[in-house]
Structure 1
């Protein structure tokens, strides 16, 4: 897998939260294992379903370059969404945690945010579904650019998105917050702040149903 030099955002991986130990930690995430993490709302959260303050909040830390995240998105998310999110039983929060190759993941997330809040989840889902193509001989840029064009972003706007210093600094802050919370892999799922090791529909349903039944 390679990151096309034309992205011009490789320097991001040497900034703030993505340096030193943080980079070493993310380099070890190829296996996409999960760990404990903090709870509560965080700046930059993207969410679906019930409103903030809902009885049950499910948080997913994920990366658009993580194969296990793509598999979960394809195999579990449709049923989970229909059962809990579309019915407003839970608030589903998605948090970005770029994994190798980090520059590609960061570019994807930056582009998704540039596309606007209404397009954020569709863009992330399209990138996850396009992983095989993205890491093919042509590299990730043509795939990301095609997705950007699909939501109305020109090539120039795409380039501005993935090199925007303010957006990169905000991404750094989100990564640092995840690392400080103890996130050690993707996908990591929490139900009301408690990490759920079984990320299958059955495993997540058991945790969500128990939380819904409390009180």
Structure 2
């Protein structure tokens, strides 16, 4: 779980690096979801698909019979576990075969997660999803370390983000606002309060989903 001390280190490191990060201006009391499933809530399609502060970066066929939306935080361990353990099968078995259309939406639980999402957007539409994959894959190397700002800069450098681009991106107040507005809209409109949270054809599931659970949920969704 994200620790207050990490937030303090983020502020300290921002000062040390010599530039102001808008991501350090806000805190949050949201929590990580425990591993569980809650499919009791169904959200109407028009509400779930309403235009948000940021454009969705969909992958998969637009004609896929199943739509999956994930709300995640870049610093959420359960989110990283899902992307390490379940995501490869979901992509190869369902997305690449045209059965599922998928989108990851920003739901940062802390300023560092906001920074990660901002950098992913700054990478450009063609690289945004690859950047979130990279940050989830290497989460332990940047999210929970003594100098998270330096570690985050080193991580995104692997994707071609220079130090100048890193600093410029994190000073983008408009983008910072859009990322947090995406979270706030989901919290208000969809009653999301933890990550990861999924919607599978409008049905809400809270918590990290296993491959077996994904198989079951997609099978049920395609039978309706």
TM-score w.r.t. the length of structure 2 is: 0.80
* Counterpart residue number, 1:18: none
Match status 1:179 vs 2:187 = yes
Q: CA deviation at 1:31?
A: 4.8
Unaligned runs of 5+ in 2: 15-19
Quote the Cα distance in structure 1 between the aligned partners of 2:72 and 2:33.
Answer: 12
Aligned length: 201
Q: Does 1:50 align with 2:61?
A: yes
Alignment of 1:74 with 2:84, yes or no, is yes
Runs of 4+ in 1 over 4 A off after TM superposition: 30-38
Name the structure 2 match of 1:119: 127
User: Counterparts of 1:150 and 1:87 in 2: how far apart (Å)?
Assistant: 29
1:201 aligned to which of 198, 202, 211? 211
CA contact (8 A) 1:34 1:184 kept: no
Q: CA RMSD in A?
A: 2.4
Q: CA deviation at 1:202?
A: 1.5
1:190 matches 2:196? no
Judged with a 3 Å threshold, the aligned counterparts in structure 2 of structure 1 residues 213 and 122 are, in CA distance, closer, same or farther, namely same
**Tell me, what secondary structure is at the counterpart of 2:102?**
strand
Where does 1:38-187 land on structure 2 (aligned, <5 Å)? 38=43, 39-43=48-52, 44-51=55-62, 54-99=64-109, 102-180=110-188, 181-187=190-196
The reply to whether residue 9 of structure 1 matches residue 22 of structure 2 is yes
User: SS of the counterpart of 1:49?
Assistant: coil
Q: Is the 8 A contact 1:145 1:158 kept in 2?
A: yes
Q: Which has the higher helix share?
A: 1
Q: Scaled by the length of structure 1, what TM-score is found? A: 0.83
Q: After superposition, what is the alpha-carbon deviation per residue over 1:141-183, rounded to whole angstroms, capped at 9, x for unaligned?
A: 2232123322222212111111201111211220111101101
Q: 1:117 to 1:213 in 2, by over 3 A?
A: same
2: CA distance between counterparts of 1:49 and 1:8? Answer: 34
